Amino acid sequence: MKPGTHQAQAALLFLLGATLLHAGTTDLYLRYVKSGLRPLLLLSAAVLIAAAIATVWYERRTPDHTGHPEPRVTWLLTLPVLALILVAPPALGSYSAVRTGTALQQPYGYADLPPSGTLRLALTDYAARAAYDKGRTLRNRELEITGFVATPRSGPPYLVRMTLNCCAADAQPVKIALTGKVPPVLRPDTWLRVTGTYTPGTTEDPVNGAPIPYLKVTKATPVPPPKDPYDETWNN
């Protein structure tokens, strides 16, 4: 029997389903979507693989009587899917951060903080409290914040986290400006765990004019990138 017209379609569906399954059962999916979408990703993978199996079953039950084999060029459609398996894209970083305005917006309220000890805050939480709450809950506290470095052409370096509403396509940066004992040499995209204190004042984001609060650095330690490079704690 000559090749059926649905073989490339079935192969493409299976490869795409297998790619989603691989991404959803590893941390790879965090490069594309927020962690809460993992169940939907796995469900989509199961549907695509089932559709591929059903297509093969239909092909065997209903032979192609046209006598025309499918064009070989259709198999080239599998190449982009294979690329997703073999080459994982990096998370968005400093290049996007310095070319996109900060997504910081005033929240509806602020969660209570521990009364003593070092405050380990999400970068977005610190930025909102510093910019819009005038650091009321941050004064005289040692703070610890993690993010990656971005270095604009002028002005202070930034510590940044990219935030997601849904997926990497809508990722936006939230930035804080570093002052104090900033390391003399900073490489863009280096992840740092910064210990410091709140300091009043903000600088203006050159892209969209939104406020970027300062953090006074007392110590900065390079750290490996987190498993989830995007910060989902911020809701616009």
CATH number for region 94-231: 2.40.50.140
pTM as predicted: 0.71
Kindly compute the dihedral angle of the four CA atoms of residues 89, 184, 129, 147, in this order, to the nearest 10 degrees: 20
Report the distance separating Cα 28 and Cα 26, nearest Å.
5
CB 125 within 8 A of CB 146: no
Maximum distance among all Cα pairs of the chain, rounded to whole angstroms: 80
Residue 120's pLDDT is: 93
Write out the H or E segment, with its range, that includes residue 61: helix 38-61
Residue 70's pLDDT is: 55
Q: Which residues pair with 184 in a beta bridge?
A: none
What value does the mean pLDDT take over residues 35-46? 76
Domains of the chain, residue spans: 7-86, 94-231
Write out the H or E segment, with its range, that includes residue 10: helix 7-24
What percentage of the chain exceeds 90 in pLDDT?
A: 42
What value does the mean pLDDT take over residues 74-103? 75
Report the distance separating Cα 125 and Cα 130, nearest Å.
9
Closest CA to 34 of 160, 167, 173: 167
DSSP 8-state assignment for residue 137: T
Residue 45's pLDDT is: 75
